[in-house]
Amino acid sequence: IDSLVQGAIKTFDTAWFSLRMMGRMLTGDVSLKNISGPVTIADYAGQSVKIGWEAYIAFLALVSVSLGILNLLPIPMLDGGHLMYYLIEMVRGKPVTDRVMEWGQRIGVSLLGGLMVLALFNDLIRIFN
């Protein structure tokens, strides 16, 4: 039971930290250079394996929680975007129109595409510097 409680607390702390960092990136308090892509994640995974299995499991947990938080952002195409549409439907009493959903999808694809390009760009800059 104690392990479950400690795991829940650690997960909450990690999720809260991720949300704070995202907020600080939006306000400009933290540089967008901190966004990492698959190359940096793979590098850190390799480094954590060298340290030991506990560090590797902790790294995997960090990545998992961070991806979960990212997935819950209110961006159309992500689960958080679907939850946003459901909330709008609850408030309005009817679903959003197909046109709104179409524009939402376009905006979501653009945001996610931009985030992926930024992450990959940051990875390439780290490799070549």
pLDDT of residue 96: 93
59 and 1 in one domain?
yes
User: What does the block give as tokens for 56?
Assistant: 């590797």
Number of structural domains found in the chain: 2
Give the number of residues written for the chain. 129
DSSP category for residue 34: G
Query: Which residue range(s) make up the domain with 7?
Result: 1-71
pLDDT of residue 121: 95
97 and 125 in one domain?
yes
Low-confidence ranges of the chain (pLDDT < 50): none
How many CB atoms sit inside 10 A of residue 123's CB?
19
Contacts within 8 Å (CB) and 24+ apart, 109-116: 109/77, 111/75, 112/75, 112/77, 112/78, 115/35, 116/37
